[in-house]
A and B are shown apart, each in its own frame.
Chain A
Amino acid sequence: QVQLVESGGGVVQPGRSLRLSCAVSGFTFSSYAVHWVRQAPGKGLEWVAIISSDGSKKYYADSVNGRFIISRDDSKNTLYLQMNSLATEDTAVYYCARGSGSGTQEYWGQGTLVTVSS
C-alpha cells in the first residue's frame, strides 16, 4: 500500500537550517509529483511546495520562497525539504503528500514536528 514516512524534525534555533526527508513506498515514486504541507500548532493547513515527477519544476509558497528548497532522489524513493534561515513562524508539523493526476494531495504521511525556538 502507499506509504509516506517523514523524518528529520526536531528543535532548531532561529536562523539555523534543517532538512526533512520523506521516504515513500507502495508506488512508483518517479511517476508522481510530491508536495510538502505544514500546519502550525492549533492552526490551519498551509501548502508549502511541490516538485514535479521529473524534478524539473518546483513551486513554493510565498512564505518560504527563497529559504526552502524541495528536491527528490528517485533512486532512494525519497523527497526532501531543505529549510534555511528558519524563523519561529516556521514551527509546524510538516507533511509530505503524493500528488494525484489532477493536482490534489491524495496520500499523506503522518507528519514530523519542527520547532524553531531559542
Chain B
Amino acid sequence: DIQMTQSPSTLSASVGDRVTITCRASQSISSWLAWYQQKPGKAPNLLIYKASILGTGVPSRFSGSGSGTEFTLTISSLQPDDFATYYCQQYHIYPYTFGQGTNLEIK
C-alpha cells in the first residue's frame, strides 16, 4: 500500500498568516492527490483534487501544488474558519490511503 506522510502533525498559526502543509507519498502518485478539511464532529470537505484543482466553492486562498511524491497545501491568509484538521489522500492506486492529518490550531 502507498503510505502518505503529512507534516507537521500540528501547526499553530494566527489569523492572516500564510501556512503550508506538506504531504509525501511512499511512491509516485502522479497528480492523484486530494486535500480535505475536517472540523470536529463533521464530515470531511473536499478542498483540492488532482493536486491543484480547487473543489466547488472553495475559497481562492487555498492552493495546492506538487506531483510525484511531494505535495503542498497552502493557505495564503488564514481566516478564523480555517482552523481545522487537514488530510491528504492518494487516489492513484487501491487501496486509497490518507495521511495522518494536520491539526491547524490558533496560536
**A residues at B contact (CB < 8 Å):** 37, 44-47, 50, 59-62, 95, 97, 100, 102-106, 108-111
Q: Is the CB of B101 within 8 A of A44?
A: yes
Q: What are 13 A-B interface contacts by the 8 Å CB criterion?
A: A44-B98, A45-B98, A47-B95, A47-B96, A47-B97, A59-B94, A104-B46, A104-B49, A104-B89, A104-B91, A105-B34, A105-B46, A106-B46
> What A residues does B89 contact at CB under 8 A?
45, 47, 104
Contacts A104-B49, A109-B43; A44 near B95 (Cβ below 8 A): no
Q: How many Å from the CB of B25 to the closest CB on chain A?
A: 14
Q: How many Å from the CB of B54 to the closest CB on chain A?
A: 12
A111 to B45, CA, bound (A): 13
B38 at the interface (CB under 8 A from A): yes
> What A residues does B101 contact at CB under 8 A?
44-45
Contact with A along B81-107 (1 / 0, CB 8 A): 000000101010011111111000000
Interface residues of A, dominant DSSP: strand
Q: Is the CB of A62 within 8 A of B95?
A: yes
Give the size of the chain B interface in residues (CB under 8 angstroms): 23
**B residues at A contact (CB < 8 Å):** 1, 32, 34, 36, 38, 43-46, 49-50, 55, 87, 89, 91, 94-101
> What B residues does A62 contact at CB under 8 A?
1, 95
A108 to B45, CA, bound (A): 8
Q: Is the CB of A50 within 8 A of B94?
A: yes
With A50-B96, A105-B36 given, name 7 new contacts (CB 8 A): A46-B98, A50-B94, A102-B91, A103-B96, A104-B49, A105-B44, A108-B44
Chain B's closest residue to A46 (CB) is B98
A64 to B87, CA, bound (A): 21
Contacts A104-B34, A104-B91, A108-B44; A47 near B98 (Cβ below 8 A): yes
Q: How many Å from the CB of A76 to the closest CB on chain B?
A: 22
> What B residues does A110 contact at CB under 8 A?
43
A35 to B38, CA, bound (A): 17
